[in-house]
Structure 1
Amino acid sequence: MDLQLQGKVALVTGASAGLGRAIAKELAAEGCRLAILARRRPLLETLAAELPASAEPLILEQDFTAKDAGERIRDAMQARFGRCDILVNNAGSSRPQEGLGSDEAWMDAMEINFHAGRRITHALVPMMQAQKFGRIINLTGQDEAWMINAANAPNGAVHIWAKALSRTLGRDGITVNSIPPGRIRSEQIDQRILPTEEARRAWAESQVPVGYIGEARDLAVLATFLASPLAHYITGQVIHVDGGTRRFPH
């Protein structure tokens, strides 16, 4: 299937590792030109070296939570590519708490997992509106409350904001969708949440109907399709990629 992505310009935040890195590679394989953003420049440089020359990778070493990050990113993309067609808001992190969590921890989680991506999106939307095309894809997180995790509330906020944004921007040819990953192999999963092969195997056997923990590409292929012109009638959706772990039917 031709996804009609040749020459489209995409920005992937949190691109240095895990899901962001996999999504960047899939988009590049489909012919996208790429801006890749993270704080760890050496990892971005190795990613850029792995991409095809046609990706023309723009490395953005940037703290995406900085208040002026959206404007800095917009200006850099305008200078290099003159446009932005696709935004993948991937940067963020889980925030499990001991006890109820401090006020600082809750505010920090909201900043990282909601406000930072919102500001970047709002800075780039006018470019998409001007060209009457845009794809905004938010990587969020589960909405089943297994425990107190300060990231759950901003994940929910992203879903509500994204739904409202999809209704506001639909007639501009811009779609807005969210993908909550389940347990998928990544830095966070492998180093913080399920740090041993035994733990990963036990989780998969007890919680994942398909019987294994997904790889980053399992999600990246969905993100790439949602980024394509073919997905023009899919917007305002929350699509879980979790091997069936989530128990809700809707």
Structure 2
Amino acid sequence: MNLELKSKTAVVTGASIGIGRAIAKGLALEGVRVVAVARRAELLAELEQEVRAGGGAPIVPHVQDLVEDGAAEKLATTAIAALGSVDILVNNAGGSRPLPIDAPDRAWEEAIALNFTSYRKVAHALLPQMIERRWGRIINITGKSEPEGLNAAFAAKAAVHAWAKGLSREIGKYGITVNCIPPGRIMSEQIRRNYPEDYRKQFAEEEIPVGYWGEPEDLAALAVFLASPRARYITGTVIPVDGGLRRYQF
């Protein structure tokens, strides 16, 4: 299928490793010019070189912390200067924040800032030029809806789902879609560091119907499709990529 993505432009946050890296690479290999945002310059440089070697569209590395003051406006200005305009935003930067019940407000505020507020601010900074051109795609990489304990990131990602649904109803008339993808057990350097292979094998056999942990490319395939003109009638959704891990029916 021709995804009709050549000549499109994108911003992908959290693009140095894992899911964000796979999405940035997948878009670039489809001909999308990408501003890849992360805090580790050396990993962004490796991504740029790999995409160039594979014949993909240019990757523009951009090193930035997305929770600093004025970060969203700075990123929007930088991306538009580099690309001319931004058609696609992939909000992916974030991190798990398990907290004790007596955690201070500061810990909650930091988690909400990273996992929700940064998503909202970057999207709203880029929306005016999407609305002006009457086309855009916003894709949010979120999180599971079955928390096994107190985790500020789960609360923040639930906020993303609610915000994205409401936003989708406001901006659909401009040809802009908004969708969320909660990952299941997707392999990453953090997963490999924190979960030994024997645990991963047992968990997959007992909990994941397809029988294995996913790779970043498994999720990136959906994200690239949702970013395309082919996905014009899909908006306001939450689509898990989890090998059947979740147990709820809708």
Task: Give the TM-score range, shorter chain.
Answer: over 0.9
* Structure 2 Cα separation of the partners of residues 91 and 187 of structure 1: 15
Q: For 1:224-248, what per-residue CA distance to the aligned partner results, in whole angstroms no more than 9, with x for missing partners?
A: 0000001000000000000000000
Who is 2:26 aligned against?
A: 26
* Structure 2 Cα separation of the partners of residues 9 and 129 of structure 1: 15
Counting matched residue pairs gives 248
**Is contact 2:28–2:59 with CA below 8 Å preserved after alignment?**
no
**Is contact 1:39–1:63 with CA below 8 Å preserved after alignment?**
yes
Who is 2:97 aligned against?
A: 95
Amino acid at match of 1:185: M
Who is 1:209 aligned against?
A: 209
* Structure 1 Cα separation of the partners of residues 198 and 97 of structure 2: 23
* Structure 2 Cα separation of the partners of residues 188 and 226 of structure 1: 26
Secondary structure (helix, strand or coil) at the match of 1:51 reads helix
* Structure 2 Cα separation of the partners of residues 48 and 39 of structure 1: 15
For residues 1-250 of structure 1, the aligned pairs below 5 Å read 1-52=1-52, 54-192=56-194, 194=195, 196-250=196-250
Q: For 1:30-72, what per-residue CA distance to the aligned partner results, in whole angstroms no more than 9, with x for missing partners?
A: 1100100000000000001111365222111000112211111
**Is contact 1:92–1:112 with CA below 8 Å preserved after alignment?**
yes
**Is contact 2:28–2:58 with CA below 8 Å preserved after alignment?**
no
TM-score (norm 1): 0.96
The alignment's C-alpha RMSD in Å is: 1.2
The alpha carbon displacement at 1:191 in A equals 2.4
**Is contact 1:97–1:149 with CA below 8 Å preserved after alignment?**
yes
The alpha carbon displacement at 1:249 in A equals 0.2
The alpha carbon displacement at 1:100 in A equals 4.8
- The runs of 5 or more residues in structure 1 that have no matched partner are none
TM-score (norm 2): 0.96
The alpha carbon displacement at 1:98 in A equals 3.9
Identity %: 52
**Is contact 1:100–1:148 with CA below 8 Å preserved after alignment?**
no
Structure-2 change in CA distance of 1:206 and 1:99 (3 Å): farther
**Is contact 1:209–1:245 with CA below 8 Å preserved after alignment?**
yes
* Structure 2 Cα separation of the partners of residues 215 and 232 of structure 1: 26
Single out whichever of 101-110 and 117-126 deviates more from structure 2.
Answer: 101-110
* Structure 2 Cα separation of the partners of residues 102 and 145 of structure 1: 20
* Structure 2 Cα separation of the partners of residues 188 and 142 of structure 1: 17
- The runs of 5 or more residues in structure 2 that have no matched partner are none
